[in-house]
Amino acid sequence: MSMGSILGQYIHDHCESRRAFCADIGFRESTVSNWCNDRVSVPLPKIAIMAEYFEEYSNEPPSVFVFRLVMAEPTTLKIIQSYQKKQRKK
């Protein structure tokens, strides 16, 4: 799953709608749409804000949300894949 699809799933599972989520958290709908459609990566400070927001609805610690999103970020995936290749060569 991509970062955007994970965010979209959280919004779907824990909010009435994307519009309601944006109104609650104070983010522009167009910005959240860009994140959910993987047009733009979510900035880390915004991930932290959303992690705190979703803690109330998901009963997960904020670190779980952060971990899920960050692990889906393309650069993170490339780093992990590179590391795994090096480990297999040993």
Alpha carbon of 57 to those of 25, 39, 54: distances in Å? 13, 26, 5
pLDDT of residue 83: 84
pLDDT at 33: 97
Question: Distance between CA atoms of 8 and 35, rounded to whole angstroms?
Answer: 9
pLDDT tens, residue order, the chain (90 aa): 899 999 999 999 999 999 999 999 999 999 999 999 999 989 989 999 999 999 999 999 999 999 999 888 888 878 888 888 888 887
Task: Specify the pLDDT at position 88.
Answer: 84
